Amino acid sequence: MMQPDLRPMLATLTDKPFDDPGWLFETKWDGFRAVAVAAPGRASLYSRNLNDISKKYPSICEALSAIEHEAVLDGELVALDAHGRSRFQLLQNAEREPARLLYCVFDLLYLDGKDLRGRPLLERKAALEQILPKSPLLLYSAHVTGAGIKAFNRAKRLGEEGVMAKLATGRYRAGERTREWLKVKASQEQEVVIVGFTAPRRSRKYFGALVLAVREGKGWTYVGRAGTGFNAEMLRSLHAKLVPLITEVKPIAEKVPDAANTTWVKPKLVAEVKFTEWTSAGEMRHPVFLGLRTDKKATDVVREMPKPLSEAKSRPGSRRG
């Protein structure tokens, strides 16, 4: 086979679902992007940055080696929860804890030496469906055509991350972020109380991230940090509101990552954040600051999702950041 280009095509983020007969809509899988190079009896997996991750997922490689062609596939490595939903965190723990791993394949880039990237998406997907062997570890990522809003609402109802919208006639553009692939994300929102802020780094001014908590019982429970969603003016004005609230007293009893780098404030300001999901430690994943809520009392702010069953907040050491 010719030297294949393994750089995956990237999607542009949008938050508005749409209907269009020229587009197809797939499940947005929540895992690691992986490109597979397969041939009869052997297969390798590569991350988005072209690192060889075959040794981390030998069972997936073994399943892929059953493909009776030389092929380069594009897909997402996921771990499924008890409800069959893909969960990023399960995947990260998969090396230590048993999880149901799955390689969800949604595109075929090369087949038996032929470069298919110039062919329309629908044609590539049809060829992919033909060659993908039946395996509990491999899944052909099916799609619906046209009905994007319905697909998005269904994904939201099932607690999934969203849907991928793809131009049916689109070519595969390796390594490019295009508007022919769109990820339509269904994010969650939560009111939180600001209990501190971290120091800025590099060119950032005023503060790095906001330390966030919710009311539980008579105390405050740490739920994560939001370091994005601000522009320069928001950083300045928010910092001006935080400075008069600075206190030596840490509002949270539990251990907080990077506490030495945190300035604590009295829990007065209520913020609205959006995020992708709750982690097993009861913290928000990918929190993004949306704005301050002046109509809410800090003591009224509670977690809007039930705390996960896994209460164990194991924190081996502090994290980067």
Partner DNA sequence: GCTCATACTCCCTCAGATGA
Partner DNA sequence: TCATCTGAGGGAGTATGAGC
Site string for DNA, 239-278 (x = CB under 7 A): ------------------xx-x-------------x-x--
From 125, 166, 185, 215, residue interacting with DNA (rule: CB under 7 A): 185
User: Is 288 an interacting residue with respect to DNA (CB under 7 A)?
Assistant: yes
For residue 182, with 0-12 CB atoms within 10 Å meaning exposed, 13-18 middle and 19 or more buried, which class applies?
buried
Contact 183, 13 (CB under 8 A): yes
Nearer to DNA, 127 or 262 (CB): 262
Residue 7 lies near DNA (rule: CB under 7 A): no
Rounded Cα gap, residues 294 and 263, in angstroms: 22
Alpha carbons 193 and 197: distance in angstroms, whole number: 12
Question: Which residue of 3, 21, 41, 49 would you call a contact of DNA, by CB under 7 A?
Answer: 49
Judged by CB under 7 A, the residue of 22, 40, 58, 321 near DNA is 321
In the bound state with DNA, the residue whose beta carbon lies nearer, of 110 and 230, is 230
Closest CB to DNA among residues 25, 32:
32
Q: How far is the CB of 318 from DNA (least distance, A)?
A: 4
Q: Which residues are catalytic?
A: 28
To DNA, the closest distance from the beta carbon of 3 in angstroms equals 20
Report how many residues bind DNA under the rule CB under 7 A.
57
Regarding 48 and contact with DNA (CB under 7 A), the answer is: yes
Three-class DSSP category at 38: strand
Instruction: Output the smallest distance, CB 69 to DNA, in A.
Output: 25
In angstroms and rounded to an integer, the radius of gyration of the C-alpha atoms of the chain is 22
Told to check if 55 binds DNA by CB under 7 A, we report no
- 166: contact with DNA by CB under 7 A: no
CB of 95 vs DNA, minimal distance in Å: 5
- Take residue 162 and report the two structure tokens written for it: 């969203």
In terms of C-beta density within 10 A (0-12 exposed, 13-18 middle, 19 or more buried), how is residue 145 classed? Answer: middle
Residue 224 contacts DNA per CB under 7 A: yes
Residue from 200, 272, 292, 293 in contact with DNA (CB under 7 A): 200
Q: Which of 3, 231, 244, 248 binds DNA (CB under 7 A)?
A: 231
What is the distance in angstroms between the CA of the first residue and the CA of the last residue of the chain? 43
| Residue pair 132/67 in contact by the 8 Å Cβ criterion | yes
Phi, psi of 301 (to 5 degrees): -85, 110
Distance in angstroms (rounded) separating the CA atoms of residues 143 and 163:
10
Q: By the 8 A CB rule, do 199 and 185 touch?
A: no
* 183 sits near DNA (criterion: CB under 7 A): yes
* CA separation for the pair 275, 287 (Å, rounded): 4
CA distance 308 to 291: 26
Instruction: Decide if residue 13 touches DNA (CB under 7 A).
Output: yes
Tell me, rounded to whole angstroms, the distance of Cα 183 from its chain centroid.
11
Residue ranges that bind DNA, judged by CB under 7 A: 12-13, 32-33, 47-49, 51, 53, 89, 92-93, 95-96, 176-179, 183, 185, 187, 198, 200-204, 208-209, 224-232, 257-258, 260, 274, 276, 279-281, 283, 285-288, 316-321
